[in-house]
Protein backbone atom coordinates (compact mmCIF):
# COMPACT_ATOMS: atom_id res chain seq x y z
CA UNK A 1 0.00 0.00 0.00
CA UNK A 2 1.32 3.37 -1.00
CA UNK A 3 -1.24 5.56 0.73
CA UNK A 4 -2.90 6.08 4.09
CA UNK A 5 -0.04 4.60 6.14
CA UNK A 6 -0.60 7.18 8.91
CA UNK A 7 -4.38 6.70 9.10
CA UNK A 8 -5.95 3.68 10.76
CA UNK A 9 -9.08 1.87 9.60
CA UNK A 10 -10.58 2.76 12.96
CA UNK A 11 -10.04 6.50 12.29
CA UNK A 12 -11.68 6.11 8.88
CA UNK A 13 -14.63 4.23 10.37
CA UNK A 14 -15.07 6.86 13.07
CA UNK A 15 -15.05 9.59 10.42
CA UNK A 16 -17.59 7.54 8.43
CA UNK A 17 -19.92 7.45 11.45
CA UNK A 18 -19.81 11.25 11.70
CA UNK A 19 -20.03 12.22 8.04
CA UNK A 20 -23.18 12.97 6.04
CA UNK A 21 -23.64 13.00 2.30
CA UNK A 22 -23.09 10.60 -0.56
CA UNK A 23 -19.66 11.74 -1.77
CA UNK A 24 -17.95 11.96 1.62
CA UNK A 25 -19.37 8.54 2.54
CA UNK A 26 -18.21 7.09 -0.77
CA UNK A 27 -14.70 8.46 -0.30
CA UNK A 28 -14.37 7.07 3.20
CA UNK A 29 -15.75 3.68 2.14
CA UNK A 30 -13.20 3.58 -0.68
CA UNK A 31 -10.40 4.43 1.76
CA UNK A 32 -11.50 1.69 4.17
CA UNK A 33 -11.64 -0.83 1.33
CA UNK A 34 -8.18 0.30 0.19
CA UNK A 35 -6.80 -0.15 3.70
CA UNK A 36 -8.29 -3.69 3.64
CA UNK A 37 -6.36 -4.60 0.48
CA UNK A 38 -8.63 -3.59 -2.41
CA UNK A 39 -6.59 -2.07 -5.26
CA UNK A 40 -7.18 1.39 -6.70
CA UNK A 41 -8.11 -0.24 -10.02
CA UNK A 42 -10.79 -2.39 -8.35
CA UNK A 43 -12.16 0.59 -6.44
CA UNK A 44 -12.39 2.59 -9.66
CA UNK A 45 -14.40 -0.26 -11.22
CA UNK A 46 -16.65 -0.56 -8.15
CA UNK A 47 -17.52 3.13 -8.15
CA UNK A 48 -17.52 3.59 -11.93
CA UNK A 49 -14.91 6.34 -11.85
CA UNK A 50 -11.35 6.82 -13.11
CA UNK A 51 -8.45 5.26 -11.22
CA UNK A 52 -6.91 8.74 -11.08
CA UNK A 53 -9.91 9.93 -9.04
CA UNK A 54 -9.33 7.19 -6.45
CA UNK A 55 -5.68 8.21 -6.32
CA UNK A 56 -6.68 11.86 -5.72
CA UNK A 57 -9.08 10.86 -2.93
CA UNK A 58 -6.42 8.84 -1.15
CA UNK A 59 -3.82 11.62 -1.50
CA UNK A 60 -6.23 14.17 -0.05
CA UNK A 61 -7.05 11.87 2.88
CA UNK A 62 -3.32 11.66 3.61
CA UNK A 63 -2.57 15.36 3.32
CA UNK A 64 -5.61 17.05 4.88
CA UNK A 65 -7.67 16.49 8.04
CA UNK A 66 -10.31 13.80 7.39
CA UNK A 67 -13.31 16.12 7.83
CA UNK A 68 -11.89 18.49 5.23
CA UNK A 69 -10.48 15.88 2.84
CA UNK A 70 -13.77 14.07 2.18
CA UNK A 71 -15.65 17.23 1.20
CA UNK A 72 -15.28 19.29 -1.96
CA UNK A 73 -14.61 22.99 -1.76
CA UNK A 74 -17.58 25.23 -2.52
CA UNK A 75 -17.93 25.91 -6.23
CA UNK A 76 -19.63 29.19 -6.93
CA UNK A 77 -20.54 28.44 -10.53
CA UNK A 78 -21.36 31.00 -13.14
CA UNK A 79 -22.20 34.46 -11.79
CA UNK A 80 -25.84 35.49 -12.09
CA UNK A 81 -26.84 37.95 -14.76
CA UNK A 82 -29.03 39.89 -12.32
CA UNK A 83 -27.58 41.73 -9.33
CA UNK A 84 -29.06 41.00 -5.90
CA UNK A 85 -31.17 44.18 -6.09
CA UNK A 86 -32.40 43.32 -9.57
CA UNK A 87 -33.21 39.77 -8.46
CA UNK A 88 -35.24 41.11 -5.53
CA UNK A 89 -37.08 43.58 -7.78
CA UNK A 90 -37.77 40.78 -10.30
CA UNK A 91 -39.15 38.43 -7.64
CA UNK A 92 -41.37 41.18 -6.23
CA UNK A 93 -42.67 41.94 -9.72
CA UNK A 94 -43.62 38.29 -10.28
CA UNK A 95 -45.78 38.31 -7.16
CA UNK A 96 -48.17 40.65 -8.98
CA UNK A 97 -50.10 39.98 -12.19
CA UNK A 98 -48.38 41.03 -15.44
CA UNK A 99 -51.08 43.66 -16.01
CA UNK A 100 -49.65 45.66 -13.09
CA UNK A 101 -46.34 45.83 -14.97
CA UNK A 102 -48.03 46.92 -18.20
CA UNK A 103 -48.35 43.61 -20.02
CA UNK A 104 -51.64 42.45 -21.49
CA UNK A 105 -51.51 38.89 -20.10
CA UNK A 106 -53.47 37.09 -17.37
CA UNK A 107 -50.43 35.28 -15.90
CA UNK A 108 -46.66 35.12 -16.08
CA UNK A 109 -45.25 32.71 -18.64
CA UNK A 110 -41.59 31.89 -19.37
CA UNK A 111 -41.86 33.80 -22.66
CA UNK A 112 -43.29 36.85 -20.90
CA UNK A 113 -40.64 36.67 -18.16
CA UNK A 114 -37.97 36.43 -20.86
CA UNK A 115 -39.35 39.58 -22.50
CA UNK A 116 -39.66 41.41 -19.16
CA UNK A 117 -36.05 40.62 -18.19
CA UNK A 118 -34.75 41.81 -21.55
CA UNK A 119 -36.80 45.03 -21.53
CA UNK A 120 -36.27 45.90 -17.86
CA UNK A 121 -32.72 44.78 -17.13
CA UNK A 122 -31.24 44.22 -20.59
CA UNK A 123 -30.36 40.58 -19.86
CA UNK A 124 -31.07 37.61 -22.10
CA UNK A 125 -32.28 34.38 -20.47
CA UNK A 126 -33.34 31.15 -22.15
CA UNK A 127 -36.87 29.86 -21.59
CA UNK A 128 -35.69 27.01 -19.32
CA UNK A 129 -33.75 29.55 -17.25
CA UNK A 130 -36.86 31.73 -17.04
CA UNK A 131 -38.79 28.71 -15.72
CA UNK A 132 -36.10 28.18 -13.09
CA UNK A 133 -36.20 31.87 -12.09
CA UNK A 134 -39.98 31.72 -11.83
CA UNK A 135 -39.75 28.68 -9.59
CA UNK A 136 -37.10 30.39 -7.42
CA UNK A 137 -39.45 33.37 -7.12
CA UNK A 138 -42.12 31.10 -5.66
CA UNK A 139 -44.33 30.59 -8.72
CA UNK A 140 -45.53 27.14 -9.69
CA UNK A 141 -46.66 25.77 -13.02
CA UNK A 142 -50.41 25.33 -13.24
CA UNK A 143 -52.19 24.02 -16.27
CA UNK A 144 -55.50 25.72 -17.06
CA UNK A 145 -58.42 23.31 -16.97
CA UNK A 146 -61.98 23.66 -18.11
CA UNK A 147 -64.44 23.72 -15.29
CA UNK A 148 -67.90 22.24 -15.34
CA UNK A 149 -69.37 25.75 -15.22
CA UNK A 150 -67.74 26.55 -18.56
CA UNK A 151 -68.89 23.39 -20.33
CA UNK A 152 -71.92 23.15 -22.55
CA UNK A 153 -75.00 22.28 -20.40
CA UNK A 154 -76.19 19.68 -22.94
CA UNK A 155 -72.79 17.97 -23.00
CA UNK A 156 -72.68 17.99 -19.21
CA UNK A 157 -76.14 16.39 -18.93
CA UNK A 158 -75.26 13.78 -21.58
CA UNK A 159 -72.07 12.92 -19.69
CA UNK A 160 -73.96 12.48 -16.41
CA UNK A 161 -76.57 10.28 -18.11
CA UNK A 162 -73.85 8.06 -19.63
CA UNK A 163 -72.10 7.87 -16.26
CA UNK A 164 -75.33 6.77 -14.54
CA UNK A 165 -75.94 4.08 -17.20
CA UNK A 166 -72.44 2.68 -16.81
CA UNK A 167 -72.78 2.38 -13.05
CA UNK A 168 -70.10 4.99 -12.44
CA UNK A 169 -67.40 3.28 -14.53
CA UNK A 170 -65.64 4.81 -17.50
CA UNK A 171 -66.73 3.13 -20.74
CA UNK A 172 -65.92 3.61 -24.39
CA UNK A 173 -68.48 5.33 -26.61
Q: What confidence tens digit (pLDDT) does each residue in 73-82 have? A: 777 888 889 9
Q: Give the residue numbers spanning the domain of 111.
A: 84-136
Residue 167 DSSP symbol: T
Same domain membership, residue 65 and residue 27: yes
Looking at the domain assignment, is residue 15 inside a domain?
Answer: yes
Same domain membership, residue 106 and residue 64: no
Q: What is the distance between the alpha carbons of residues 86 and 11, in angstroms, rounded to a whole number?
A: 48
Looking at the domain assignment, is residue 172 inside a domain?
Answer: no
Looking at the domain assignment, is residue 99 inside a domain?
Answer: yes
Helices assigned H by DSSP within the chain: 9-18, 22-35, 40-47, 51-63, 66-69, 84-94, 110-121, 127-136, 153-165
Same domain membership, residue 94 and residue 62: no
Closest CA to 5 of 43, 67, 59: 59
Looking at the domain assignment, is residue 40 inside a domain?
Answer: yes
Same domain membership, residue 14 and residue 64: yes
pLDDT digits (tens, 9 = 90+) for 1-42: 577 888 889 999 998 898 888 989 999 999 999 999 999 999
Same domain membership, residue 90 and residue 126: yes
Looking at the domain assignment, is residue 142 inside a domain?
Answer: no
Looking at the domain assignment, is residue 141 inside a domain?
Answer: no
pLDDT digits (tens, 9 = 90+) for 146-172: 666 667 778 777 777 766 665 555 544
Looking at the domain assignment, is residue 74 inside a domain?
Answer: no
Number of domains in the chain: 2
Same domain membership, residue 60 and residue 102: no
pLDDT band (50, 70, 90) for residue 55: very high
Same domain membership, residue 97 and residue 58: no
**What's residue 69's pLDDT?**
84
Same domain membership, residue 93 and residue 59: no
Looking at the domain assignment, is residue 104 inside a domain?
Answer: yes
pLDDT digits (tens, 9 = 90+) for 94-124: 999 999 999 998 889 999 999 999 999 999 9
Amino acid sequence: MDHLDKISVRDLQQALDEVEGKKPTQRLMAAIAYKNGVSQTELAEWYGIQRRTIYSWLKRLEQEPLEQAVRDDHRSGRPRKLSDDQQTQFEETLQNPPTKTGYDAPAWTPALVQRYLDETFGVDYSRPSCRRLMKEAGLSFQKPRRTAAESDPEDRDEFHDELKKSGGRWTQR
